[in-house]
Amino acid sequence: MTAIPSEAPAARPTPMMEQYIEIKSANPDCLLFYRMGDFYEMFFEDAEVASRALGIALTKRGKHLGEDIPMCGVPVERADDYLQRLIAAGFRVAVCEQTEDPKEARKRGAKSVVRRAVVRLVTPGTLTEDALLEPRAANLLVAVARGRSEAGGMIFGVAQVDVSTGAFSVGEASAAGLGAALARRDPSEILIPETLAEELAAALGETRAAVTPVGRDIADPARAEARLARHFAVAAAEAFGLSKPELSAAAMIVGYLERTQLASRPPLARPVREGRGAVMEIDAATRANLELTRRLSGEREGSLLDAVDRCVTAGGSRLLAQRIAGPLLDPDAIAARHDAVQALIDAPELRRAVRAALGRAPDLARAAQRVAFGRGGPRDLAAIRDALKAAEALAERLAALETAPDELAVIAAALAGADHAMADELAATLADELPLNKRDGGFVRHGCDAELDSTRSLRDESRKVIAGLQAAYAEATEIRTLRIKHNNVLGYFIEAPQQHGERLLKPPHAETFVHRQTMAGAMRFTTTELGDLERRIAEAADTVLRCELATFDRLAARVTESWESCRACADALAGLDVAAGLAEVAVEQNLTRPHVDDSLEFRLEGARHPVVEAALRREGKPFVANDADLSAPDDGGGLIQLVTGPNMGGKSTYLRQAALCAVLAQAGAFVPAAAAHIGAVDRLFSRVGAADDLARGRSTFMVEMVETAAILNSAGPRALVILDEIGRGTATFDGLSIAWAAIEHLHEVNRCRALFATHFHELTALSKRLPRLRNATVRVAEWKGEVVFLHEVAPGVADRSYGIQVAKLAGLPPSVVRRAKAVLDELEAADRASPVERMIDDLPLFAATRARPEPEGEPVLEALDAVDPDALTPREALDALYRLKALRKS
């Protein structure tokens, strides 16, 4: 991003521009916000890029190498707004501040430049300011490092930190599962070693994150343990119990924060290790298809998360999003979450009181982080005060539960153990009305500090003296419009309209009033008396601000000491909010507690799609519930339900609602069904809808095949697979063949629970030969030539897709509809002449994939079973081979 010429300039640049060029050269990959007074200025190519990105005016300032220097700037007071837009557009910003008082610079000479330095690099994953963050979404910085597992295979360490809260966790992912691991975290920024950029391109493409390659100085595995140990002040990083890839990834995060935050370091919790296989694995395509936390368009509204989020705190919403993104696998842990929700359903008065108290709790995690990080203000202190007060009240409320489930008991203990003494101290110190920035002062309560109150009185009385002096001057000069004003350049001054000001230049007033400035229509003066008064006021104001800033620093130090306690309290508030919110939505939408265990059951009675049902409810329409049973029979393989039916009949909704029920159940929520028994799903796959990926040169059909290949290559017996319209993107017989083979592979190889929707009605004949394939159809009725969609799923087979009727509803010209009917009649007549059912027994593909019974009493096989290859010498192995050949011939 640098465009500053490196050649020697024809004329020496100004000292200020020399300083800018030096600082910019040290940060070539960032836009440089260069502080000049009340503005952050940008020059050269930075100015051109920023002016386009922000839509602000591009101006000029001086010359460099004989050419005008482009310049643009943004006000310091509105810098957060502009930073947010630049970060969202993918830029990194280096913030360069003045590091000395301009008065000190002038002491070195009239042309001396105020010292400046970059105090922070602003990147997508390192934001902390409220204005730059989405309150209800985590902002994760993720690092990926490659290494070897204990078994010797390739493995990736994945570390994540939310700089806005200090939460830090690490885990491992296989090469095949890295994309899913990154998609679950949905990071804002991903750090990778420069050497892995090409290798990780496919996995990184599964996210929307900004990718930042880092050099060996940050990504060196040899320094990882020492860097982590130094940062967390422990003797050895082994204390964290991390593998080498995990250590490397965690150290990359720490090193990157040291690089970007420069003068300050964000407080971080000690890294918590996530166990492998602890959560349901969901790849990026499935997340997008099912719209778990956002719609395909990127909006939160209309997603599963939006449909069930009744949290009243930002922290609760962030935790719920995390749980939906990574549903658990352990039935006991899932049941513990369900117990907490059930307890709050059974105690409606307590639930209402808890939600009311939570509604008064600000975002404790982010407020405490900003204060401990040195970026907080008075309102952050007030947020900590109010959150801790809410925690105290909630602890008392939860104590009323006679038999609290384990999760609520842990939450109650954390709330009760919060630093309530600090909350009292903050309440006694902070004023009722608080400024945004501490430098504005006025945030310490009157009566808290006697010395401060005394100095304030002097300052405030001086203001009254200014008003009295103005009245005295107006009377003495007989100028009723005379005013005493103040600005940052002149300080206090006397202003009078020009026609009256001319009189002050003549005796007898000339001896008292000293002319300072002539304006258009006004003249400005000062007096010795006013100058003395200004000095006293300035000293009093400076003293007051100095005292208030000292009070702020004392309170900030107190918060920093209690940072871990604040984090624990914030986690407890979020956990309680999630439980209460899920209880609220369960009552509101008539949700049911699911039974989740280690079996291969999957049975839903009267299941509904939570997002579609919510949309229909707003329109006053009912949702038609349906059953689904994919439970594995005795042979251990899951059932495949082949769903046929008309377009617009609701097949896709039926498929999706089964997957969403599994996600909700294992996330710890109740499900939209009359009853649900779900054997924990370890991997969820969904291939629904059609979309191309032109950026990677993939057609719609290629995207479909890539996603289908991932499913068929990865799904195991505990997986749940949702497939919709496989093979529809190519020629009819090509598509039918692919769908046919895919069903056989799911049945014979993957052996997983699956829902497969199709318009290839020929596939329904497979149920005659595949014992775990069941046919189901979406029912319709015809009335006076019109199709009526009943949205009911029942056993059976559809014989038509009613596509022409749907085309008619869509508004195709009547002539096109009539012609389509005629063509359809001819095609169906030809198809009846050669039914596909005959192919079932004749196709060698099916015969090859179908399990074959072992022949009984085969001498060769019996002899082969008796051979122990590991116990044979080379000579004995050769002899055994000859014996087998002899048996085969006989």
| Domain boundary, last residue among 122, 149, 182 | 122
507-532 mean pLDDT: 90
Q: Please enumerate in sequence order all residues whose Cβ is within 8 A of that of 353, keeping only pairs 6 or more positions apart, or say none.
A: 397
Q: Over 60: is that where the pLDDT of 60 sits?
A: yes
Q: Give me 347's structure tokens.
A: 């105690």
Domain of residue 874: give its range: 859-889
- Same domain assignment for residues 682 and 758: yes
- Summarised one tens digit per residue, pLDDT across range 413-448 is 999 999 999 999 999 999 999 998 898 888 999 988
Share of the chain above pLDDT 90, in %: 57
In a domain, 285, yes or no: no
Q: Over 80: is that where the pLDDT of 841 sits?
A: no
- Same domain assignment for residues 114 and 194: no
In a domain, 286, yes or no: no
Q: Over 60: is that where the pLDDT of 184 sits?
A: yes
- Same domain assignment for residues 548 and 667: no
pLDDT of residue 380: 96
Instruction: Among 88-92, 315-319, 849-853, name the one with the lowest average pLDDT.
Output: 849-853
Q: Over 70: is that where the pLDDT of 387 sits?
A: yes
pLDDT of residue 8: 45
- Summarised one tens digit per residue, pLDDT across range 91-128 is 999 999 988 888 787 878 777 888 999 998 999 999 99
Q: Give me 665's structure tokens.
A: 């159940």
- Same domain assignment for residues 406 and 456: no
837 falls in which pLDDT band (50, 70, 90)? low
pLDDT of residue 588: 96
Which domain CATH number covers 623?
3.40.50.300
Q: Report the greatest alpha carbon distance in the chain.
A: 140
pLDDT of residue 840: 56
Going by their DSSP bridges, the two strands 522-526 and 640-644 should be labelled as unpaired
Q: Is residue 376 annotated as involved in ligand binding?
A: no
Q: Determine the Cα–Cα distance for residues 59 and 40; give it in Å rounded to an integer.
A: 14
Which domain CATH number covers 140?
3.30.420.110
Asked if residue 570 lies in contact with residue 368, where contact means CB atoms within 8 angstroms, the answer is yes
Q: Please enumerate in sequence order all residues whose Cβ is within 8 A of that of 167, keeping only pairs 6 or more positions apart, or say none.
A: 161, 269, 365, 567
The helix or strand, by DSSP H or E, that contains position 706, with its residue range, turns out to be: helix 700-714
pLDDT of residue 871: 65
Q: Over 50: is that where the pLDDT of 301 sits?
A: yes
Q: Is residue 27 annotated as involved in ligand binding?
A: no
Q: Is residue 437 annotated as involved in ligand binding?
A: no
Phi, psi of 292 (to 5 degrees): -70, -50
Q: Please give the C-alpha separations between residue 382 and each of 76, 371, 819, 859, in angstroms, as whole numbers.
A: 24, 11, 72, 85
pLDDT of residue 277: 82
- Summarised one tens digit per residue, pLDDT across range 702-719 is 888 888 888 999 999 999
- Same domain assignment for residues 395 and 461: no
819-823 mean pLDDT: 78
- Same domain assignment for residues 642 and 782: yes
Q: Over 60: is that where the pLDDT of 336 sits?
A: yes
Q: Over 80: is that where the pLDDT of 291 sits?
A: yes
Residue 43 or residue 8, greater confidence: 43
- Same domain assignment for residues 576 and 601: no
In a domain, 826, yes or no: no
Please, what is the average pLDDT of the chain? Answer: 87
Residue ranges of alpha helices (H) inside 155-263 are 178-185, 201-204, 216-219, 224-232, 244-261
Q: Is residue 650 annotated as involved in ligand binding?
A: yes
CA angle, 748 then 753 then 755, to 5°: 105
In a domain, 434, yes or no: no
Asked if residue 524 lies in contact with residue 493, where contact means CB atoms within 8 angstroms, the answer is yes
798 falls in which pLDDT band (50, 70, 90)? confident
- Same domain assignment for residues 646 and 768: yes
Which domain CATH number covers 22?
3.40.1170.10
pLDDT of residue 171: 94
Q: Is residue 648 annotated as involved in ligand binding?
A: yes
- Same domain assignment for residues 742 and 607: yes
Asked if residue 83 lies in contact with residue 92, where contact means CB atoms within 8 angstroms, the answer is no
CA angle, 515 then 516 then 522, to 5°: 85
- Same domain assignment for residues 636 and 707: yes
Q: Determine the Cα–Cα distance for residues 276 and 430; give it in Å rounded to an integer.
A: 46
Q: Over 70: is that where the pLDDT of 2 sits?
A: no
Q: Over 70: is that where the pLDDT of 513 sits?
A: yes
Q: Determine the Cα–Cα distance for residues 430 and 608; give it in Å rounded to an integer.
A: 50
Residue 544 or residue 142, greater confidence: 142
In a domain, 408, yes or no: yes
191-201 mean pLDDT: 90
Q: Is 681 exposed, middle or buried (0-12, 13-18, 19+ CB in 10 A)?
A: buried
In a domain, 825, yes or no: no
Q: Determine the Cα–Cα distance for residues 491 and 502; give it in Å rounded to an integer.
A: 22
- Summarised one tens digit per residue, pLDDT across range 668-692 is 999 999 999 999 999 999 987 655 4
Q: Over 50: is that where the pLDDT of 802 sits?
A: yes
Q: Please enumerate in sequence order all residues whose Cβ is within 8 A of that of 280, keeping only pairs 6 or more positions apart, or say none.
A: 326, 327, 328, 329, 662, 663, 666, 681, 682, 683, 684
864-876 mean pLDDT: 71
394-410 mean pLDDT: 89
Sign of CA dihedral 569, 572, 574, 580: negative
243-253 mean pLDDT: 94
| Domain boundary, last residue among 89, 122, 155 | 122
Query: Which range scores top for mean pLDDT: 54-68, 71-85, 805-819?
Result: 71-85
pLDDT of residue 889: 64
pLDDT of residue 847: 47
pLDDT of residue 737: 87
Which domain CATH number covers 392?
1.10.1420.10
| Per-position DSSP letters for 467-506, written without gaps between them | HHHHHHHHHHHT-TT-EEEEETTTEEEEEEEHHHHHHHTS
The helix or strand, by DSSP H or E, that contains position 236, with its residue range, turns out to be: none
805 falls in which pLDDT band (50, 70, 90)? confident
Q: Give me 738's structure tokens.
A: 């692919």
Closest CA to 686 of 764, 744, 755, 605: 755
Phi, psi of 88 (to 5 degrees): -65, -30
732 falls in which pLDDT band (50, 70, 90)? confident
Sign of CA dihedral 600, 330, 244, 285: positive
Report how far apart the first and last C-alpha atoms of the chain are (Å, whole number): 80
* Type of residue at 72: C
In a domain, 567, yes or no: yes
pLDDT of residue 845: 45
Q: Give me the long-range contacts of 833-840 (CB less than 8 A, separation at least 24).
A: 836/762, 836/765, 837/762, 837/765, 837/768, 840/765, 840/766, 840/768, 840/769
In a domain, 319, yes or no: no
Going by their DSSP bridges, the two strands 67-75 and 39-43 should be labelled as antiparallel
Q: Please give the C-alpha separations between residue 333 and each of 167, 340, 415, 666, 680, in angstroms, as whole numbers.
A: 21, 11, 21, 9, 12
Sign of CA dihedral 138, 142, 148, 150: negative
Q: Over 50: is that where the pLDDT of 846 sits?
A: no
- Same domain assignment for residues 530 and 676: no
Q: Is residue 255 annotated as involved in ligand binding?
A: no
The total number of structural domains that make up the chain: 6
pLDDT of residue 853: 43
Closest CA to 624 of 780, 796, 793, 806: 793
Secondary structure of 47-94 in the HEC alphabet?
HHHHHHHHCCCCEEEEEECCEEEEEEEEEHHHHHHHHHHHHHCCCCEE
pTM: 0.84
Share of the chain above pLDDT 70, in %: 92
Residue 606 or residue 450, greater confidence: 606
- Same domain assignment for residues 676 and 774: yes
